[in-house]
A and B are shown apart, each in its own frame.
Chain A
Amino acid sequence: MSKEPAPPIVRTEIVEFSFDGRKFSGHQGETVAVALLRQGIIQLRDAPNTPAARGMFCVMGICQECVIEINGKRKEACRVPISSGLIIDKVKY
Chain B
Amino acid sequence: MYDATIIGSGPAGANAALEAHDLGLKVLIVDEQRDAGGQIWRVKSKSILSAPSTEASIKGDALRERLKQSSIEVKFETRVWHIDKNEEKNWIINLVSKDGSHSVLSKALIIATGAQERVIPVQGWTLPGVVGLAGATALFKEHMMVPGKSTVVAGSGPLVFFVASEVIRLGGSVAAVVSINGFSDWIKALPAMVLNPKLLWQGIKWIGDLYLKRVPLYWRHGIRSFEGLGHVVGVNVRKANKKWYLRHDPNIFIAADSVCYGHGLMPSIEASRLAGAVHTYEPALGGWVPFTDENGRTTVPYLYVCGDNAGILGAQAAPHRGRLAAYAMVEDLNETLPEDLLAKRKAEKKLLKWASIFGKAATGLSILQPGAGGLISKQTEVCRCEGINRLEIEKEVKTGALSPNAVKSGTRCGMGPCGGRFCSESMALITEQATGKTRAEIGLPTARPPLRPVAMDEIAKDLNYDDLPIPGVSPL
Contact = CB atoms under 8 A, between A and B. Distances in A.
Interface of A: 6-7, 9-12, 26-31, 34, 37-38, 42-44, 47-50, 52-65, 67, 73-74, 78, 81
Given A12-B48, A43-B230, A48-B386, 5 more contacts: A34-B139, A34-B145, A38-B145, A56-B131, A57-B130
Nearest to B50: A10
A56 to B, nearest CB: 6
B128 A50 contact: no
A10 B48 contact: yes
A44 B129 CA distance: 11
Contacts of B136: 59
Contact of B128 (A42, A59, A61, A73): A42
A57 B135 contact: yes
A81 B422 CA distance: 25
Interface of B: 32, 39, 45-52, 116-117, 126-132, 134-136, 138-139, 143-145, 147, 230-231, 381, 384-387, 416-418, 421-422, 452-453, 455
Nearest to A26: B47
Which of B131, B134, B421, B455 has the most chain A CB within a 10 Å cutoff? B131
A90 B230 CA distance: 15
A67 B52 contact: no
B384 A9 contact: no
Given A9-B51, A59-B131, A63-B384, A30 B143 contact: yes
Given A34-B143, A58-B117, A74-B455, A52 B126 contact: yes
* Residue of A11, A12, A59, A74 contacting most chain B CB atoms (<10 Å): A59
A68 to B, nearest CB: 13
Nearest to A50: B387
A64 B131 CA distance: 13
Most chain A CB neighbours (cut-off 10 Å) among B144, B385, B386:
B385
A55 to B, nearest CB: 3
A64 B418 contact: yes
B62 to A, nearest CB: 19
